[in-house]
Amino acid sequence: MITTSAHEVSSHTGTPTRGVRRAITLWFVLLLLTSCTGSGSTRHSPAAAPTTASPQPGAGQVQVWITDSNGNRKLSRSSPVPLSSQSLAGADVMIVSVNDSQQFQRFFGVGASITGSSAQLLGQLPAQTRQQALAQLFSRTDGIGLSVLRQPLGANDFSIGNHTYDDLPAGTTDPGLAHFSLGGDATQILPLLRSAQQLNPAATVVVSPWSAPAWMKSTGSLVGGALSGQFYDSYARYLVRSVRAYTDAGVRVGGITPQNEPSFSPSGYPGMILTAAQQKELVVGHLRPALSAAGLNNVGIWALDDNYDRIADAQVIVSDGAARSAIAGVAFHCYQGDVSTLKDFHAQYPDVALAISECTGGDWSANFADNLRYDVHTLLIDGIRDGASWVSKWNVALDESGGPSNGGCTNCRGLITVNPDNGSVSYNEAFYAFGHLGRFVTPGARVIASNGFGDGSLDTVAFLNPDGSHVLLATNGAADPKTFQVQSSGRQFRYTLSPGAVATFTW
């Protein structure tokens, strides 16, 4: 019989310190007050357009949802299995121990971004189809329950043209932000954010700029360049003004990153270099004080917002005590480096919260099974076991050509694909992968101890919801079916998972 090893259990991060808990609480205080409290066990399987809710589970049962590697079943509700207080006899099986008493970080959910491209496509859908697609994405009863929206402030690589919220003719400046305006984002993107938060009251927005207004930059252009030293204060006030404008428009903002991928200056779309030392200066000397002065202390700053391989930049920021106390955590992207960076970083800075703030398909396999394996095993299970407190994909929606793009990747995929010609919506692998957590794990749940197996045959991550219910996500990476027995608080159940399949268990 295969049992839990100390090494496997200790792969989880440690319980957050008081300082991190305080920072996270500030960010999510509204979220926790408004979040749903159900365990997910009464929710039905989100097919393309679900219309009926699942029945209430019976006592002593574990509810099961399955996605097969071949896509024949996609987040489909399966027959419940008995949860027994008696020892289960039978053949030798793997043992998965779920331990409530060993608790780690709070988890606030999975999400994506309603980019300008996503907003345009959703806006082209008939009203009823659009509302159904939004319900599929954000509702915890009719969909997958996305609860984190990382939102670009202005233009990015998936927007309709280049713009910020304070664009001026070349050679002019606006330190007082007299010309600040949300422009088209106010009518094209913010209504979708409000709809998302109406569908999921637990959903929070984390805003992220790709570039400062051109007049604040060394090049005078949105494409390329760096933030000019004399405009640090103006940029901080610009970011705070953006948060306030979103808030005044009825969008709840819980977090902000100072700059998207600050180590990268793209040649074809807006971007801006901001070194680690400059990020630290901006956050400590300007952004955190400006947020506080505006009464926005509940808006958490997530530093870095760059790839795993930029861990040295993150270390520069958090090694400064003032910077560490000014931020809610550090956010990473998945495109360079390895997810194990989170575990390495946590070992050095156990009091700093972590997130995976962006990841998408690009030059990766279009095979459903391969993508399912990556999203569930690498992003969700490994990422959360290594310390992530939230995980976000990139575009919510793209078209069948991976666009419309504004100079970014040409083969990215959204959670959903919208065909603007016929108004159809299809749901991609990532939609179902993220649904395996989003609709069952209540924002603010604790990650708790569970074990996987070093050979990759069975991997798990477990959660304790605020209402005391449990969620276990498991995937079988082996080439043959795996039978395992889950033990939790003196009760147990047994299940056989087919090769490459993903399962969510709730009890």
CATH number at residue 477: 2.60.40.1180
Q: Which of 397, 424, 445 is the last residue of a domain?
A: 445
Q: Which residues pair with 470 in a beta bridge?
A: 464
The reply to whether 98 and 241 lie within a common domain is no
- pLDDT score of 93: 87
pLDDT digits (tens, 9 = 90+) for 433-480: 999 999 999 999 999 999 988 788 999 999 999 999 999 999 999 999
What pLDDT is recorded for position 362?
Answer: 54
- Do residues 458 and 494 both lie within one domain? yes
* In 294-395, alpha helices (H): 311-318, 321-326, 341-348, 368-373, 383-385
Number of domains in the chain: 2
Does residue 378 sit in the same domain as residue 268?
A: yes
Q: 195 and 210: one domain?
A: yes
pLDDT at 122 over 70: yes
pLDDT at 365: 62
Average per-residue pLDDT for the chain: 89
**Domain contains 129:** yes
pLDDT at position 454: 75
Instruction: Judge if 144 and 62 occupy the same domain.
Output: no
397, 419, 445: which is the final residue of a domain? Answer: 445
Q: How confident is the model at residue 366 (pLDDT cuts 50, 70, 90)?
A: confident
372 within a domain of the structure (yes/no): yes
Domain range for 114 is 107-445
Give the least confident one: 48-62, 137-151, 202-216, 449-463. Answer: 48-62
Whether residue 492 is predicted with pLDDT greater than 70 in this model: the reply is yes
pLDDT category at 415 given cuts 50, 70, 90 is very high
Q: What is the pLDDT of residue 456?
A: 80
Rounded alpha-carbon distances, angstroms, from residue 457 to 253, 329, 342, 481, 484: 40, 32, 22, 9, 11
Average pLDDT over residues 146-172: 97
Task: Specify whether 351 is located in the same domain as 396.
Answer: yes
Q: For the ranges 8-22, 287-301, 336-350, which has the lowest average pLDDT?
A: 8-22
Other C-beta atoms closer than 10 Å to the C-beta of 133 total 23
> Same structural domain for residues 273 and 368?
yes
| Per-residue pLDDT at 92 | 78
- Contact partners, residue 87, CB within 8 Å, separation at least 6: 492
| 363: pLDDT strictly greater than 60 | no
Judge whether 119 lies within some domain: yes
Provide the pLDDT for residue 181: 98
- Give the model's pLDDT for residue 90: 65
Task: Determine what percent of the chain is predicted with pLDDT higher than 70.
Answer: 87
Query: What CATH number should be reported for the domain holding residue 439?
Result: 3.20.20.80
Boundary of a domain, candidates 419, 445, 471: 445
What pLDDT, on the 0 to 100 scale, is given for residue 4?
Answer: 26
Residues 422 and 459 both lie in one domain: no
Nearest to 216 by CA among 248, 259, 280: 259
Residues 454 and 355 in one domain: no
